[in-house]
Amino acid sequence: MSQDKVAFEVALEELESLVAQMETGTLSLEDALQAFERGIQLTRACQQKLQAAEQQIRILTQNHPDAQPEVFADDV
């Protein structure tokens, strides 16, 4: 598993946790604002990683538009 994927998954899990905390309504105003700010940072980081992945897919499919999926050694 690549480090980017791990970072994406970790960021997504943290974001989900923050949302769950904020939905409870038990955070103080200051804590809620900090959680919201962190959530925005995590959302932007995740969006950037997804956009980079989409760009990589576009590049790969433009070079080989008729490419067929191949079985990798790990999949066997």
CATH (domain of 28) = 1.10.287.1040
Kindly tell me if the per-residue pLDDT of 4 is higher than 90. no
Q: CA angle, corner 46, sides to 40 and 54, nearest 5?
A: 140
The pLDDT, as a whole number, for residue 63 is 72
- Whether 20 is in a domain gets the answer yes
Number of domains in the chain: 1
- Whether 72 is in a domain gets the answer no
Kindly tell me if the per-residue pLDDT of 44 is higher than 60. yes
Do 39 and 19 contact (CB within 8 A), yes or no?
yes
- Whether 74 is in a domain gets the answer no
**Can you tell me whether residue 18 is helix, strand or coil?**
helix
pLDDT tens figures, 17-42 = 999 999 999 999 999 999 999 999 99
| Domain extent for 55 | 3-64
The pLDDT, as a whole number, for residue 76 is 44
**Phi (first) and psi of residue 29, to 5 degrees:** -60, -45
